Amino acid sequence: MHTCFSSITEILERNAKSWPEDVALVEINPQELEARHTTWREYSLIESSPVEAFRSEISWRQFEEKANRFANFLLSRSFKRGDKIAILLMNCLEWLPIYFGILKAGCMAVPLNFRYTADEIKYCLELADADALVFGPEFTGRVEQIADLVPRLKMRLYVGGDCPSFAESYSSLVSYASSIAPKVPMTPDDDAAIYFSSGTTGFPKAIVLTHRSLLHSSAVEQKHHSQVKEDTFLCIPPLYHTGAKMHWFGSFLVGGKAVLLKGVKPEWILRAVSEEKCSIVWLLVPWAQDLLDAIDRGEVKLDEFDLSRWRLMHIGAQPVPPALIKRWKTLFPHHDYDTNYGLSESTGPGAVHLGVENVDHVGAIGVAGFGWETKIVGPDGVTPVAPGSVGELAVKGPGVMKEYYKNPEATAEILKEGGWLLTGDMAEERDGFIYLVDRAKDVIISGGENLYPVQIEDFLRANPSVKDVAVIGLPDERLGEIAAAIISVKEGMALSESDVNAFCLGLPRYKRPRKIIFADVPRNPTGKIEKPLLRKRYGGDGLVAMQNGIPS
């Protein structure tokens, strides 16, 4: 279906022509209600809402016009093909029109993580050779700190009210630009965007993706989840990340509505599904766990919501505990379920996926996705391992990145002969399905034995008192490393170190955690456990003093 398009922007143009007045995007901000001490239920009973900021929407025609205006504005400012325009915004209705406007001008979009510090923003702007920055009010302080420290920036454009003195106002300038599509020819091989890696081994790397990659990701998502025009996609994760955007691409490809929900509370998720008639919801593991826990505690009651349209719940970005999906299917037996695997270097999710027909294999990340190939290789990064052996997962397909920008050495380390991309994930194949063992860099070598934290985490999550868990390696003079489990306990539940040790008798002795730490488990906005932060916090001299298993 995607082969008739030369660029990802042509899908937007098709949608605007085919369904100009249909709703394309909805933004819901429940925090606006809380700030005014109004509940969502009270709001929904008011015919004429006094809180306009709570819900807003745009049609496909408006989406296209906004993107065209921004593209024409950029061209009027002499931005040209290949120039890099950075985006530092929270999820909002302007995010995607700005993204597509950049691409329509022939420029490259450079989405930035909203958690970046001022120094990290500066680093990424410089790494990507950004020529302009579009930012929102949440980032004014951080941007002001580095405003004069990135000489290459020709423009700082502010999206919001009360424009700071060191920037220009987006609304004041862009609204006067033409809404007619600019005539900038594009091909599938043109550079489209730079995304940043998670930076788990240090500073982030800049990942160059082409229009072909973006087009393929939209086809992959639609092929895997069978989106049709009538589907409504609930988007909660940040749009700067490939996961959220590329899952939305499946709905985008068929002209379906998407709802941007600014918040992750269980009630907000269920009310958004109920009131917007959402049929597809992509969740991260913590959000799914919180929702199930809220139902178990009686904080939300399913009979208060109309969930009849909800047909698919899928999860990605991190290993999924089988026990979680078993609980989910008990409460939502009619839901299709899928798990999706990918990385920003593979244009987001879908390089591997479980498939809705394979729910009996939960625990596996699945099989090669639509248009993708997979293999598990040994230390040389090329030669396949023996069947059933653990090795590094490699993938090949149209979604593989072009390169790490300005980093040929790092590119050569991950891109191998024949177009294969090394993922950095250790995996094994069993019964035709790929099982993720762990990140190569997270493997713990204890007394000569390889310990895979994900396996230990999955075991511990089966404990009914465990809300979340992360297993990391800590230095040990005798064994080299030992496994330490950082455990977050469910609200209202009790768990002691001796309880955990007794539970772990079900593990082989060498896999049992040697240290138990009760604390919150930090996750980044895409749901991945921040293990470098945990290693820094608890490793070596930074190890927190413990008393009865609880940090003092």
Is the predicted pLDDT of residue 314 greater than 80, yes or no? yes
Q: What percent of the chain has pLDDT over 70?
A: 91
Residue 319 within a domain: no
Give 385's strand partners.
none
Q: Are residues 257 and 360 in the same domain?
A: no
- Residue after which a domain boundary falls, among 390, 423, 439: 439
Question: Residue 415 belongs to what domain range?
Answer: 336-439
* Alpha-carbon distance values, 26 to 12, 88, 95, 235 (Å): 16, 20, 12, 10
- Residue after which a domain boundary falls, among 276, 295, 310: 310
**Comparison of pLDDT for 473 and 526, the residue scoring more:** 473
CATH number for 244: 3.40.50.12780
Residue 507 within a domain: yes
- Residue after which a domain boundary falls, among 424, 439, 454: 439
CATH number for 537: 3.30.300.30
Q: Are 108 and 85 in contact (CB under 8 A)?
A: yes
Residue 43 has a pLDDT of 63
CATH number for 401: 2.30.38.10
Residue 525 has a pLDDT of 67
- 151 falls in which pLDDT band (50, 70, 90)? very high
> In this predicted model, what pLDDT tens digit does every residue of 318-335 receive, in sequence order?
667 788 888 999 999 999
Q: Are residues 479 and 433 in the same domain?
A: no
Phi-psi region of 183 (alpha: psi -120 to 50; beta: other; left: phi over 0): beta
Q: Are residues 458 and 432 in the same domain?
A: no
Q: Are residues 402 and 465 in the same domain?
A: no
Residue 330 within a domain: no
> In this predicted model, what pLDDT tens digit does every residue of 208-250 receive, in sequence order?
999 999 999 999 999 999 999 999 999 998 999 888 899 999 9
Least confident of 42-56, 156-170, 352-366, 437-451: 42-56
Residue 202 has a pLDDT of 56
Q: Are residues 513 and 373 in the same domain?
A: no
Can you tell me the mean pLDDT for 62-78? Answer: 98
Q: Are residues 140 and 231 in the same domain?
A: yes
Q: Are residues 432 and 290 in the same domain?
A: no
Q: Are residues 142 and 24 in the same domain?
A: yes
Residue 3 has a pLDDT of 54
Residue 42 has a pLDDT of 65
Question: What value does the mean pLDDT of the chain take?
Answer: 89
Number of structural domains found in the chain: 3
Residue 324 within a domain: no
Most confident of 119-123, 228-232, 355-359: 228-232
Q: Are residues 363 and 422 in the same domain?
A: yes
Pick the closest to residue 193 from 89, 82, 94 (CA basis).
82
Is the predicted pLDDT of residue 141 greater than 50, yes or no? yes
Residue 318 within a domain: no
Instruction: Tell me the three state secondary structure of residue 453.
Output: helix
Q: Are residues 284 and 379 in the same domain?
A: no
Q: Are residues 78 and 135 in the same domain?
A: yes
Can you tell me the mean pLDDT for 281-298? Answer: 89
Interatomic CA distance for residues 459 and 450, integer angstroms: 17
Is the predicted pLDDT of residue 65 greater than 90, yes or no? yes
Residue 322 has a pLDDT of 81
pTM of the model: 0.83
Q: Are residues 40 and 173 in the same domain?
A: yes
